[in-house]
Amino acid sequence: MRKLNSLFFLSAVVVLSSCGSTYFISPVGELSMVATRNIDKSANYVQIKAYAGVSGTEITAAMAAAKNGVIKRKNPIVKEINAYKAKLINQTVDNVVKSVAGGEYLYNAKFYLVGEVPGGMGKKVITYNYVASGDVWGVKDANANIKGFKVNDKVVFTFSKELKKLLSKNFEGEAGKQYSGKVINLKAAEATIQLENSTVVDIPYTNLTNLGS
């Protein structure tokens, strides 16, 4: 089993800018397998999802798109970091594992330490978090859920000004209108919804009302 590396800012690999903040990211180690609770040896575990969480590939892509080492806040990796980050390594492992319905543990796990420096004037206090990635293994279960939502659940949401800010320009909704559809995929902080007109959009769980299967 690979050991975690305790080094951090000796060689930061990428810098990101988001809403005035600056992020420093550095790899801290890899583990062949990691779990945060006991594994049932009698269970038929299978790989449910490969490359879940914030992966090295995503970081490499972010670096390639960077200008002078600074990545714009619209870069997808910033959203991924916020979805999986945690103060402790076991917590970020849980965040990645629980982002996949039926997930139990990680194989080929990679870990990164993220330091965030707030923007604006005044004293700069750096906050630190870990993010992780890896192959999620677990038990495939049609009833597995994330935050109470399952694939094929019928849902509704209202297109508000706040929700509009979170969504990409690929979805042009009507302010105040209620939309309905079904869940076709579950993610860490949002569900992929197929609307009645076949449009596909990612909606945060907090904005969804579950009508059941």
pLDDT of residue 105: 93
Retrieve residue 113's tokens.
């330490």
Q: What dihedral angle (degrees, nearest 10) is formed by the CA atoms of 64, 190, 136, 77?
A: 10
- Mean pLDDT computed over every residue of the chain: 79
pLDDT of residue 93: 94
- Mean pLDDT, range 119-132, rounded to an integer: 78
pLDDT of residue 10: 38
Please list, in sequence order, all residues whose beta carbon lies within 8 angstroms of the beta carbon of residue 147, skipping any fewer than 6 positions away: 205
Instruction: Name 204's bridge partners.
Output: 190
Task: Go through the domains of the chain in sequence order and give each one's CATH number.
Answer: 9-138 (no CATH), 154-212 (2.30.30.140)
Write out pLDDT tens, residues 133-164.
Answer: 999 998 877 667 788 888 889 999 999 888 88
pLDDT of residue 132: 92
- pLDDT confidence band for 69 (50 / 70 / 90): low
Write out pLDDT tens, residues 73-112.
Answer: 666 777 788 888 999 999 999 989 988 888 889 999 999 8
Retrieve residue 43's tokens.
């269970």
- DSSP letter, residue 22: E
- Which residue did the predictor score with more confidence, 210 or 144? 210
Write out pLDDT tens, residues 1-51.
Answer: 454 544 444 344 455 655 567 777 778 999 999 999 888 777 788 999 888
- Mean pLDDT, range 164-169, rounded to an integer: 73
- Taking the C-alpha atoms of residue 108 and residue 100, their distance in angstroms, rounded to an integer, is 16
pLDDT of residue 1: 47
Q: What percent of the chain has pLDDT over 90?
A: 26
> pLDDT at residue 182 above 90?
yes
